[in-house]
Amino acid sequence: DAGVTQSPTHLIKTRGQQVTLRCSPKSGHDTVSWYQQALGQGPQFIFQYYEEEERQRGNFPDRFSGHQFPNYSSELNVNALLLGDSALYLCASSFFGTYGYTFGSGTRLTVV
Amino acid sequence: AQSVSQHNHHVILSEAASLELGCNYSYGGTVNLFWYVQYPGQHLQLLLKYFSGDPLVKGIKGFEAEFIKSKFSFNLRKPSVQWSDTAEYFCAVNPASFTGGGNKLTFGTGTQLKVEL
């Protein structure tokens, strides 16, 4: 059990559509980070949320947006999907100010 | 910006062989260093981490890593691998100073290890 719950586990979308991925952090964690892992690559940082605000952002376009709720859970939204957005999307939670990440199992997004 | 290089993309070993996976990073300041493992169908798990102190770090499942500051390296080692070590291994870094604006991990591209019986 990873402690971090992501949903759904798999989904298929069509180019141009929008998608929302969800993450529930490990109990006691208040910070959520999102990563994109393309096939054959290492995870790449998308952004991090703490206190319902985006605290840091990686090199991803504005089509990628997020939200954090008062219960610390988070959503990742991707608009105008491209074929290149096909990837495993990982959520990682931590306690703010620490380096102890816990990763979820990810959501496999396929864009056709 | 920091970057991480893992030179071995695929490694095949027989059980009981010794393992060393290379990791080099590029960053102008002090970093924290990590090795993560991803078993097939499972989530990323932390193997070991280095923040400061003894540059030889021991982790779970008999893995260890050595931080060599002069070489910007953090190689992962295991004296004798098992079939169950078959997995993908990722080296990662983040800046040691927590700015309060978030702490992102920068990962290498990973090394796929296959251990044969």
Q: Where on the phi/psi map is residue A71: left (φ > 0), alpha (ψ -120 to 50), or beta?
A: alpha
Using CA coordinates, name the residue in chain B closest to A89.
B43
Flag if B43 and A48 touch (Cβ within 8 Å).
no
Task: Give the per-residue pLDDT at B116.
Answer: 96
Banded pLDDT at B115 (limits 50, 70, 90):
very high
Q: What average pLDDT does the segment A1-12 reach? A: 89
Grouping H, G, I as helix, E, B as strand and the rest as coil, residue A86 is: coil
Would the CB atoms of B102 and A50 count as touching at under 8 Å?
A: yes
| Mutation target vs B (from A10, A51, A93, A101; most B CBs, 10 A cutoff) | A101
- Tell me: pLDDT of B82 over 90: yes
Nearest to A23 by CA among A5, A2, A8: A5
Cβ-proximal residues to A54 (8 Å cutoff; 6+ apart), any chain:
A47, A48, A66
How many C-beta neighbours within 10 Å does residue B17 have? Answer: 14
A50-90 per-position pLDDT tens digit: 999 999 899 999 999 999 999 999 999 999 999 999 999 99
User: Is B96's Cβ below 8 Å from some Cβ in A?
Assistant: no
